[in-house]
Structure 1
Amino acid sequence: MLRLLILIIALGAGGGAAWIATQQTATAPDPAPVAAPPEPAIEMTSVLVAEMDLARSGEVTAEALRWQDWPVEAVPPSAIERKAQPGGLREATGQYATRPILTGEPIGQHLLAPTPGSYLAAMLSPGKRAVAIDANTQSTAGGFILPNDRVDVLYTTERGNDAPELRSRTILKGVRVLAIDQSTDQTTANTVLGRTATLELTEAQAEVVTAAQSSGTLSLSLRPMVETPGEPSMDAMEAPKRIRVGRGTSIEDITLN
């Protein structure tokens, strides 16, 4: 009888302890959530963009432009920024588009020209010259060379007298194409089988190309778009070496290329 009473008391004590533990667990507050670190604020600025599509050589009106908020890190280098040029919208009004401009596209000075016919001059980078060359773009790249592409310029000459041998080498690398024939449009659904290419060159490069064109044939080689254009490079053209050869009583001048 005593053992049964002890067992009942032990079971009662255990059940009470379990009930108290359950109540404490049920009423314990949930841990406070850990706040996520705040997102860094994106620094914004205002750039001038097109409010509507603009055609090449079309006049830019005030209604065709607007200021647009833009992330500072994504502002194109050539864009007109309101902080730097607060009068940019007024200054751009009345000028002419050098190429088709799409709605929402940032406006830069290279896209504007003071007169409708000066778009090619407006496309030139400072210190550069536009030089037209006779280059068969159909044979060099199947007619797929378009304005704003980057190309290498190949120079081909003949060497030897009795059995002429053709010799080609690259004299310019990474040159920007401004126009093919009379077309300066970059986007086209068709190939451009032009005979004349207008290139953007420095003054020294223009002299080399002019000299090469008068003494040989120039061709263009298309470069990949994924390559960073950088500044065009030029391989110096060696002056032809002339030697005088005597054969008996005759003397002959020979040019070595």
Structure 2
Amino acid sequence: MRAVFGLVLIIGIALAGGAVYMAKNYIGAYQNELARERAARAKVVPTVEVYVANRALKYGEPFSADDVRLVSWPENAIPEGAFAGDTALWPEGKPKERVVLRAMEKDEAILAVKVTEPGEEAGLTSRLERGMRAFAIKVDVASGVSGFLRPGDRVDVYWTGQVGRQLASTSGEVTKLIEAGVKLIAIDQSAAGDLSGAVIARTVTVAVKPEQVAALAQAQTTGRLALALVGTNDDTVAGAIEIDQRTLLGIAAEEVAAEVKAKEVCTIRTRRGAEVVEIPIPCTN
């Protein structure tokens, strides 16, 4: 009897130990899962619903609500101009269609600078900022940077022409920087910025102020214009640049000797006997 009691006691102790061990493992696993969950919650970033493109959208293509969708976007990384929160892509009382101004890829955020206003056409006027005017410049393969210009690029404009003699400090042709950092808004009849390959254009259209229009028109009439492409991240401002033939060849300017005007002397002739004598007198005129 005592043996049976001892065996039962040993089995009970073994079961109790096993139960404690299992409970300890369970509690440990629970605590680990709870810690992982808390860590995951700490990494959660607040999001805002933002409109993105459902498909690739090309320049000049109209799109509607069927071409976009709302996705969750990190609140601290929303692109400037995105249609999110209280900014409506489709305002009430306005047409439910916009036009693409810049090409967009699938799942790219819809930005205000890349689309027109509701119901507005994607004409050149939509690319002009307040106070700016569109002006066309004739170019060729050389003056147009071998066809590598694209709408949205910035260029420096150089004028080469003959300087009149009344500006006679130089002689021959002069090349001068007349406009710096001018923005291109169209190449020939295309305002799309996703042109493929080099395009040899005949004209480029720039956005300039009214006084710059007058300067460019005068320059294009009196000489030849050439464009120099400015780098995307180049924020330098070009200063006054002017090169003539003498400067190009390193020839020193010839000094022109000033002519000294001779002092005017007035005289009268008189005869003294057989001799004729000239007598100086004050000049009256």
Q: Does 1:125 align with 2:129?
A: yes
Select 1:173's aligned residue among 180, 194, 204. 180
Partner of 2:155: 151
1:20-59 residue pairs with structure 2 within 5 A?
Answer: 42-59=45-62
Looking at structure 1, the residues matched to 213 and 238 of structure 2 have their Cα atoms a distance apart, in angstroms, of: 12
Cα contact 2:158–2:175 (8 A) shared by 1: yes
* SS in structure 1 of the partner of residue 55 of structure 2: coil
| Greater displacement, 173-182 / 126-135 | 126-135
Cα contact 2:45–2:74 (8 A) shared by 1: yes
Aligned length, in residue pairs: 201
Select 1:211's aligned residue among 218, 228, 251. 218
Question: CA 1:112–1:181 in structure 2 vs 1: closer, same or farther (change >3 Å)?
Answer: same
Partner of 1:75: 78
1:137 CA drift (Å): 5.1
1:66 CA drift (Å): 1.9
Question: CA 1:139–1:207 in structure 2 vs 1: closer, same or farther (change >3 Å)?
Answer: closer
Looking at structure 2, the residues matched to 219 and 65 of structure 1 have their Cα atoms a distance apart, in angstroms, of: 42
Question: CA 1:233–1:109 in structure 2 vs 1: closer, same or farther (change >3 Å)?
Answer: farther
Select 1:112's aligned residue among 111, 115, 119. 115
Question: CA 1:120–1:78 in structure 2 vs 1: closer, same or farther (change >3 Å)?
Answer: farther
Question: CA 1:154–1:145 in structure 2 vs 1: closer, same or farther (change >3 Å)?
Answer: same
| Greater displacement, 147-156 / 64-73 | 64-73
Cα contact 2:147–2:198 (8 A) shared by 1: yes
Question: CA 1:58–1:188 in structure 2 vs 1: closer, same or farther (change >3 Å)?
Answer: closer
Looking at structure 1, the residues matched to 70 and 239 of structure 2 have their Cα atoms a distance apart, in angstroms, of: 41
Looking at structure 2, the residues matched to 39 and 169 of structure 1 have their Cα atoms a distance apart, in angstroms, of: 61
1:187-202 residue pairs with structure 2 within 5 A?
Answer: 187-202=194-209
Question: CA 1:81–1:123 in structure 2 vs 1: closer, same or farther (change >3 Å)?
Answer: farther
Two-structure CA RMSD over aligned residues (Å): 3.6
Looking at structure 2, the residues matched to 148 and 108 of structure 1 have their Cα atoms a distance apart, in angstroms, of: 16
> Match of 2:59, as an amino acid?
R
The two structures have a TM-score, normalised by structure 1, of 0.64
Deviations 1:124-173 (A, max 9, x none): 23332222112335445221111111111112221256x96221121222
Specify every segment of 5 or more residues in structure 2 that has no aligned partner in the other structure, as ranges.
1-31, 33-37, 243-285
Looking at structure 2, the residues matched to 234 and 106 of structure 1 have their Cα atoms a distance apart, in angstroms, of: 38
Cα contact 1:134–1:196 (8 A) shared by 2: yes
> Match of 1:135, as an amino acid?
V
> Match of 2:229, as an amino acid?
L
Partner of 1:89: 90
Question: Which structure is larger by alpha-carbon Rg, 1 or 2?
Answer: 2
> Match of 1:98, as an amino acid?
L
1:42 CA drift (Å): 3.8
Partner of 1:185: 192
